[in-house]
Structure 1
Amino acid sequence: MEDNKLTGLNRWLSDFLTPVSAPQWPGEIPHEVDPPIGKLRGSRSDGVYIYRGIPYAQPPVGTRRFAPPVPVHPWEGIKDATQFGPMSYQDGEGNFSEDCLYLNIWSPEVSNTAALPVYVFIHGGGYVLGSGSQPLYEGKHLAQQGIVVVTLNYRLGTLGFLPSAAAYEEHGTTGNWGLLDIVSALEWVKENIRAFGGDPSRVTVGGESAGSYAVSTLIVSPLAKGLFDQAIMQSGSLPNATAVAPENVLSLEQAHGKASRFFDKLGLKDDAKGLAALREEPAYKLLAVSAQSTLQPPQVAGFWPVPDGHVYHADPIETVAKGEINPVRLLAGFNTDEGSLFVPPDATEQQYVSLINSAFGDSAAEVLQRFPVNMEHSAAARMNQLITLGLLRSGLYLYADTLARHREVYIYHFDYVDPDIAATGLGVIHGSELKFIFNNLIDHDNWNDDSIQVAREVQSAWINFIKFGNPNAPSENQLWQKYDSASPQEMHIAEERTMQPVLDRDDVVFINQRLQRQR
């Protein structure tokens, strides 16, 4: 039995984290399309056109390293789009390169005048891992339901988020290179997606984990205004409103200080001369400069986005609270056991206390008093609970409360165990909803009728929201009610879907207050 547990978990971790590209489908037939940027040769399979590895910006190398992306030039002739492009440098083994700014498109077999809804999905991975070509995010099954699906790569880690003061002087922005890549991809979609049957005025941006953090930042970014009308946030909100990266969520001044220390490790200064030298260093050398950190997974060390006043405002939490954001429709939520994937099986109370101290700072004592380890709650259970509450759920309702004043908001609580990992006892883990939404990597040998029905309902809800701005089908009873901040409820997704009050709302309010007090 123990071997079965490990097999299921290892399979899931491989699906979720391993930097590999989805394989081509058997029997793909060549197909060409002619968007404004230039002709592409993709392929056709099971009623879907597939275009892989489309460059949306010039390679961010040389003087374009640690700089905003530069739009790709239109090309002559026909560019091959049958293979995924390289992924951003990251740990592991894979097709990695600085030349990584590529996107992928799955579209139904329709004419370029179809005006279908578009779903742009941003991958997770803590801003240090992942790609848009992972098998988990294969867009074919969603496209078969009448949606144009786009996934993309963006710069990760140091290459994606180093907040150089010299770069700020040069470009008026810094530390947000990966976010600027995503904005550039959205601009590419707006200009070219009609050729693939998509409607540039019907774009939904979605993401999970760090991808959800990115979506939350796009909602507050003036640069993204008009590039999307709807958003989906799965297990992640504005980093400033969470405890997922307390060493990384910094003011512009603090970020400059952290970058200066990075330059020091390479014997350089963060000035024009030092930046020029850093741009000439081999990428592997930059990635080898490790940052000292006391953070515990899923807390992430390194460099993360910076409120630089250009990509987003200096105080994004205040910006959200005031409603000075892009007023989009929102679908957002969390999984029951977000934290279990990151908790050591033999977690100790000392490890729990260490996590809370690093995550909550001056408020740690209050948090530990409210959530003690005792006979009823083990250290592992408390770590799972507080990671879920404070790292991957907090901040969600700040967005819901604000956006509900402008547009429709729908909140969910995903509470169904993936049958493929049920034997691990980890519950409804971080990222487990993705398989249900994309309908990929499902081993039906382990799935009963209830499992298959939940998968159908979850995918249908996402499809309905992308198509209509409402997770309910137009012809069915409006079971999934809109979020109301005066009486907040969320859709409980389990064997049966039911509306319920926000789970553990008093705890949510308590955690959010402590986190916002720290900022």
Structure 2
Amino acid sequence: MKNERRLRIMTAEGELRGLIDDDLFVFKGIPYAAPPVGALRWRPPQPVAHWQEVREATQWGDASWQNRDYCVAVGGGDPGRFNEDCLYLNIWTPDVEPSRPLPVMVWLHGGGFTIGAGSLDPYRGKALAAQGVVVVTLNYRLGHFGFFAHPALDAEYPQEAVVNNFALLDQIAALQWVQRNIPAFGGDRQNITLFGESSGARSVLSLCCSPLAEGLFHKGIVQSAYSLPDVPRRRAQQIGKQVAAHFGLPDHASAEQLRQLPADQFWPLQRPLGLGPVAISGDAVLPKPMLETFMAGKQHRVPLMVGSNSDEASVLDYFGVDPATVLQQIRRKNRLSYGLMKWLYDIHDDTLLGRAVARDMAFTVIPLLVAQSQHSIGMPAWRYWFDYVSENARDLYPHGTWHGNEIPYVFNTLTSLKPLPERDYTAADKRFADMVSTYWVTFARDASEFSYRLQGKIDWPVWRPREDLTLALGDQGKPQAVLKARFMRGRLRLFRLLMRSHVKL
């Protein structure tokens, strides 16, 4: 029953009061762990204190400290207020008393682990929830608060239990909260899909490899994950010591001294004082590098949907990757590979060739690697390629879909975004968003380890090596889905060999 009485929901931690938005229930700013401040900075998330009175869940929680201008420019909008106290989640649900529990979709935002928030406009869960799922978005610790290593902090743990990936632990704590509480919101704790884009997609893959996350989710969607290697813990410690020195602390700074540093002084730090958009390998959360784990077929046994966009090179500057340099490196180290690429791509301008090569090495190869790994352990994977640009913006995006530009189609939030009038979304764009979001919801609702296809505008078969089918979402500018056999097969096989040998991004 959707009435005022049901706005009040009892969770394990206390009672919440939410909002109604067009017949959907929305709960904002729910704390899923204790504030990681003071003595809890750079510690695993702790249980949130229970509350006795009804808690208002009508305002977004604060975001982790970050560069606001950069988030507005490329991260999806204004992330709101900043605070080290940032461990909050949001829920959209169509029914808190459904006849059958509803699938749950938990979103991990991107932003290179340095910007972003679960409350940004493109991530609003209203349209997805209207299709019969419970949507959860969340904030987690970013930048140095999310990923940090220093000998003084590591010494607080037994050698085999050191923690450096605090952001991943936050995400795990949010999943544990969902397991405890999502039935009160109409959700099925036995059908949880973890999905994310960019660093959020890397988080999905990392949690597929973390012994601490096993059993907390049942399938995953990986949007535009990149192939940059995780940072080894020893290297992360070196960076941590450089950060301490930057703030004037001695070589043997104590954990207490580190925790007394002002929270708002970390986000402006750039390379080489930052770790980059990847996790730290070698701690208790991520014992082995994510790519190594997948290549060994030792990831958790969960179905995965995985894909990338047609112009991911749009983000490579942020990663410190120059496409022309990548091409020069290949030409210098392996002229045969360089010649083979010229032939495979049939692109004779080295700038454009470098852009395509860097895109595929950094992004396009990951869906194939993951699909092959899934097949090797008997788990299904669905591979997609997103290549659609809104009809009134094609002059702005001549090379295809930019990194992150699929998100409003996945969430079906085009109508909530406000482009300039001459760039407004067309009816065809909106129909395409309906189709894309339906595939995501279908995966969340129906995919299991026994699935062999997903139903949709066209049925989407599971990936198998012989057929090697990829669903192209958008084709030659048309808002349609097309199955492509052996998509980029030759060039991606070459890149897998290069990844195993000597070419690094």
TM-score normalised according to structure 2 size: 0.85
* Letter aligned with residue 382 of structure 1: L
Query: In the alignment, which residue of structure 2 is the partner of 1:266?
Result: 247
Instruction: State yes or no: 1:49 paired with 2:33.
Output: no
Q: Offset of 1:355 from its aligned partner?
A: 4.8
Once the 2 structures are TM-superposed, how far is the Cα of residue 62 of structure 1 from its aligned partner? Answer: 1.0
Of 137-146 and 412-421, more deviation after overlay is shown by: 412-421
Which residue is equivalent to 1:485?
465
Does the alignment pair 1:417 with 2:389? Answer: yes
Offset of residue 365 of structure 1: 6.5
Q: Within 5 A, what are the aligned runs for 1:323-472?
A: 323-340=297-314, 352-356=323-327, 370-371=340-341, 376-404=347-375, 405-426=377-398, 427-442=400-415, 446-469=424-447
Q: Distance in 2 between matches of 1:368 and 1:261?
A: 38
Query: 2:103 pairs with 110, 117, 120, which one?
Result: 117
Q: Report deviation, 1:214.
A: 0.5
Judged with a 3 Å threshold, the aligned counterparts in structure 2 of structure 1 residues 302 and 376 are, in CA distance, closer, same or farther, namely: closer
**Equivalent residue number for residue 152 of structure 1:** 138
Query: Alignment partner for residue 503 of structure 1, among 477, 487, 495?
Result: 487
**Separation in structure 1 between the aligned mates of residue 357 and residue 427 of structure 2, nearest angstrom:** 33
Question: What is the 5 A alignment of 1:274-313?
Answer: 274-292=254-272, 302=276, 304-313=278-287
Whole-Å Cα distance in 2 between the matches of residues 473 and 512 of structure 1?
Answer: 27
CA contact (8 A) 2:17 2:54 kept: yes
Asked whether the 8 Å contact 2:239–2:275 carries over to 1, the reply is: no
- Which deviations, in whole Å up to 9, do the C-alpha atoms of 1:176-223 show, x marking residues without a partner? 011111011001110111100001110000000110011010111111
Q: Which residue of 1 aligns with 2:75?
A: none
CA distance in 2, matches of 1:471, 1:459: 20
Instruction: Tell me the SS of whatever aligns to 1:395.
Output: helix
1:234 pairs, out of 203, 223, 229, with 223
Where 2:441 maps in the other structure, the secondary structure is: helix
The 8 Å contact of residues 338 and 429 in structure 1, kept in 2 or not, is answered as yes
Structure 1 residue 471 displacement after superposition: 10
CA distance in 2, matches of 1:82, 1:140: 15
1:515 to partner: Cα distance: 2.2
Provide the C-alpha distance between the structure 1 equivalents of 2:202 and 2:87, rounded to a whole number of angstroms.
19
Which amino acid is 2:410 matched to?
I
Mapped partners of 2:390, 2:149: distance in 1: 39
Partner of 1:181: 170
Question: How far has the Cα of 1:280 moved from its partner?
Answer: 0.4
Paired residues of 2:29 and 2:61 also in contact (CA < 8 A): yes
How far has the Cα of 1:353 moved from its partner?
A: 3.2
Compared CA separation, residues 284 and 226, structure 1 to 2 (3 A): same
Name the amino acid aligned to 1:259: G
Matched, 1:103 2:89: yes
1-structure distance, mates of 2:152, 2:342: 46
3-state SS of the aligned residue for 1:145?
A: coil
Deviates more, 1:55-64 or 1:497-506: 497-506
Q: Indicate how the Cα distance of structure 1 residues 149 and 357 shifts in structure 2: closer, same or farther if over 3 A, else same.
A: farther
Matched residue of 2:189: which SS? strand
| Residue aligning to 1:79 | 55
Secondary structure of 1:462's aligned partner: helix
| CA pair 448-181 structure 1, distance change in 2 beyond 3 A | same
Residue 270 of structure 1: how far off its partner (Å) = 6.3
Q: Of 210, 221, 244, which residue of structure 2 is paired with 1:221?
A: 210
- Matches of 1:365 and 1:251, distance apart in 2: 30
Q: Deviations over 1:146-190 (max 9, x none)?
A: 100000001111111112232222133233011111011001110
- Unmatched tracts of structure 2, length 5 or more: 70-79
Taking a change above 3 Å as real, the CA distance of residues 482 and 352 of structure 1, as seen in their structure-2 partners, is closer
1:256 aligns with 2:237: yes
One-letter amino acid matched to 1:108: P
Question: Cα distance, 1:269 vs. partner?
Answer: 4.7
Q: 1:71 to 1:327 in 2, by over 3 A?
A: same
Deviation track 1:131-151 (CA, whole Å, cap 9, x = no partner) reads 100000000111111100000
Q: Runs of 5+ in structure 1 lacking a partner?
A: 1-27, 294-299, 345-349
Residues of 1 paired with 2:154 and 2:351: CA distance? 42
* Paired AA for residue 441 in structure 1: L
Q: Cα 1:30–1:165, aligned 2, differ >3 Å: closer, same or farther?
A: same
Q: Give the aligned partner of residue 31 of structure 1.
A: 7
The offset of 1:366, in angstroms, is 6.7
**CA shift for structure 1 position 279:** 0.4
Q: Is the CA contact 2:367–2:383 (under 8 Å) kept in the aligned structure 1?
A: no
1:209 matched residue in structure 2: 198
Counterpart position of 1:21: none
Secondary structure at the residue paired with 2:231? coil
The CA RMSD measured in Å over matched residues stands at: 3.1
